[in-house]
């Protein structure tokens, strides 16, 4: 059976791998692109990419944990009372919204810099 601890470990590992794969090239080339753009310092560009990646990573991790907990509870209720399935799925959708909010914040951060 799948435990919550195993899920958190998998989610944390996926966040670390995603940060390593996506963020490192951006940080390495941030200075070069900032010099070409002319206005933004390399340090600001670097920290904006880090902040954007952290907001997406943390919100995705939190959204995954929330969907796991809410989804398990919702499916337990649906197993007992099938007529509440549409209302239970609404709560799962609300939990997924956490990840969307993190994506919106990262787009706003990168929009300010770019």
Q: Which residue in this structure is represented by tokens 């770019």? A: 114
Which tens digits make up the pLDDT trace of 32-73? 555 555 677 888 888 899 999 999 999 999 898 889 989 899
* Residue 4 CB contacts under 8 Å (≥ 6 apart), including other chains: 65, 68, 69
| Nearby residues of 88 by Cβ (< 8 Å), 6 or more positions away | 74, 75, 77, 78
Domain segments of the chain: what residues? 4-113
Distance CA 15, CA 6 (A): 14
| pTM given for the model | 0.62
Express each pLDDT in 80-102 by its tens digit. Answer: 999 998 988 888 888 888 889 98
């Amino acid at each position: 059976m799948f435990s919550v601890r195993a899920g958190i470990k998998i989610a944390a590992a996926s966040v670390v791998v995603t940060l390593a794969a996506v963020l490192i090239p951006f940080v390495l080339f941030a200075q070069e692109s900032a010099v070409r753009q002319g206005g933004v310092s390399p340090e600001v560009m670097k920290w904006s990419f880090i902040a954007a990646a952290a907001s997406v990573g943390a919100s995705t991790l939190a959204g995954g944990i929330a969907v796991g907990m809410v989804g398990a509870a919702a499916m337990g209720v649906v197993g007992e009372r099938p007529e509440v399935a549409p209302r239970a799925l609404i709560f799962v959708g609300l939990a997924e919204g956490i990840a969307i909010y993190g994506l919106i914040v990262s787009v706003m951060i990168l929009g300010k810099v770019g």
